[in-house]
Every structure is written in structure tokens, then in C-alpha cells.
Structure 1
């Protein structure tokens, strides 16, 4: 499907047999719709009238609500989390719970701080269920209940904001338009045991590298600003 819609791929999202066509103006949208219908006619692709919506400012696509240049998870995702009790998960329940959280992790800052406690229960010799695990479930339910919408990326200045601590790191991808910064996505992770003894500056370098890889889809082909609270970082870049 991706190959078929290559001529309009810069204005089309393709996921299996789900298609989302988007544009900036009505005239531009009409142009891409004409190309779209030419392509499906050429390849004999049938579309369902009942499942199709044309020229709308709001759409529910793959469980995400998209409107006015922003998107956020539908309320059904938070409802799924409420089905889980907050104690004594089985291994399968831990996997299911984390699977739902991972689907919306781009909306949740420092989510790994909580998920790492539950991920420990999936190891070969897991610890017993403790209060910290119940607290992690409660916190994740709370922050996932009504996550703020994220902005769809445009042509503004992109900023990658990084923070690293002793055991974990966090990143925010922002976009600056007309002097205003808006959130594009969040990322976070834990440092493995072999890296926890590293100096803070090296941890921030690792966080930068991992974050760029995480947001590669947004950053590739663009100049962007890396924002850190460590004044020594620029000196390392200039080191010869």
C-alpha cells in the first residue's frame, strides 16, 4: 500500500488498509483527493462508503483523535486501564497493562520511571508484588487518564530537550512557531546497570543519542536545537 500511494505519501498515512489523507487548505486537499481517486481506480482498490469520511476537521484514526493540528488518545484507552486491579498482577496482566501504556507512551512524560518497576516483574526471577508496584499502577492510570494533546509537527523550529539523572533519562520534542513552543512527543528510559556509574555528562550524551534515534522520524532531514542544562556539553562537541 505504501508503494502504491508513493506519489501522495507526503500527505498520506498508510497503516495496513487504513488511510488518512491530510492537507493544509481546502484547495490543496481537493488536489490530493483527485490524485487519491486516480490511484485507487488505477489499482482497482475498493473503499467502503460507511467507513470513509471526506473533508472533515476531526477524525478518529487508529484510536487517536485528530483535530485542529493536534492529536490525543481516545478515551477508550484509559477505560481499558481501569479494568486492571492495582495488586497482584499475573505475568500476562503485567504484559497487557504495559502494552496499553506503550501504545500511548509518547503522551506521557517520564513514563519509564513507573513502567520500569513493573517491567522488573517480567524478568526470569521476578520479585514479589510490593507496594511500589501498586503505586506504579496507580500513577500510570492517573497520568494516562486524560493526557494532553500533542501537536502534529509542521515546519517550525524543532527543539530536543534532554534531562538525565542517576538511573534514567527523559526527553521532550518541541516545535517553536511564532515564538511559542508546543509539545510534539515525550520519551524516557532507564540506564542499564553497566551505565549507571557513568559521569552525568556521559549519561546526557547517551540520552541525546537515544532520543535522536527515538525521534528520528521527526528529525531526519531537519536542523534542530538540542537543549540541555549542562554547560559542559558544548565543550565536548568542540573537543579535538
Structure 2
């Protein structure tokens, strides 16, 4: 359990670099609850996938307050994910600034889809 907590803590530290972190680690977080199910090959695959993702992290750009922002969001019943990009006025390219993801708390799970998307949008910005 301690090893898994350390691993997830490390991933959380670099979460701005990892797309859909909360959704993709949900299976591992289930192992931290009281009376967890046994470790399976699915758990091992998730860990392997994240080790590969960490080796291939995208380059992020520091936010520039003068550049236009581009936001992509996706909210589901369980969690959410968002990407903040900025568009350079010079070369018109989009540059990654941050990934944002998480799981809804119990009350947020009851929100309408539109409310979830708006909450996510405000959090990403």
C-alpha cells in the first residue's frame, strides 16, 4: 500500500504533464480504500502504462498572459479532464500549458452535464 501511495503521489506531482491522469489512475486509487480487491494484471498494466507515459512527457509552455487561450474539456459521470493551450500570435501554433483532471466528489456527481462542463471550464482557466 505504501509503495502505491508513493507511486500515485509522484504522478500527482507531475499531473500537469499527464492527460487524463485521474481517470486513468482510478483503478489504482481503489486499492487505497478499506478492504481493497486483490491486485490483478489490470493494476500492473496501469502502472506499466504510466511508466511509459512518464518517459514520454510532452513539453509544456509557460503561460503567457498576452496570448489567446484555448481550452478543451471533457466531463463524464465519474471524472473530468481539461487541456489549457495558448496560441502564439507570431506563428499561430498552439502550445500546451497544462493538463487538468480529477474525479467528481459525491455531490458533484449529481450535477447536470452542463454544470459539470462549466465547473471544469472555470477550474482549467
**TM-score, scaled to structure 1:** 0.47
Instruction: Determine the structure 1 residue equivalent to 2:71.
Output: 160
Match of 1:173 among 75, 79, 84: 84
Aligned in 2, Cα 1:148/1:188: closer, same or farther, shift over 3 Å? Answer: same
Aligned in 2, Cα 1:194/1:127: closer, same or farther, shift over 3 Å? Answer: farther
Instruction: Determine the structure 1 residue equivalent to 2:32.
Output: 122
Matched, 1:138 2:48: yes
- Runs of 4+ in structure 1 deviating by more than 6 angstroms, as ranges, are none
Which of 91-100 and 129-138 deviates more? 129-138
C-alpha displacement at 1:180, in angstroms? 1.7
Instruction: Determine the structure 2 residue equivalent to 1:61.
Output: none
Instruction: Determine the structure 2 residue equivalent to 1:185.
Output: 98
Structure 1, unmatched stretches of 5+, are 1-90, 213-240
Structure 2 counterparts to residues 26-41 of structure 1, below 5 A: none
Structure 2, unmatched stretches of 5+, are none
Secondary structure of the residue that 2:31 maps to in structure 1? helix
Number of aligned positions between the proteins: 122
Structure 2 counterparts to residues 59-208 of structure 1, below 5 A: 91-154=1-64, 155-178=66-89, 179-208=92-121
CA contact (8 A) 1:152 1:184 kept: yes
Whole-angstrom CA distance in 1 between matches of 2:36 and 2:94: 42
Aligned in 2, Cα 1:175/1:191: closer, same or farther, shift over 3 Å? Answer: same
CA contact (8 A) 1:169 1:191 kept: yes
* Highest RCO, 1 vs 2 (Cα 8 Å, sep ≥ 6): 2
Q: Residue deviations 1:188-212, cap 9 Å, x none?
A: 1112344334332122122223334
Whole-angstrom CA distance in 1 between matches of 2:10 and 2:41: 21
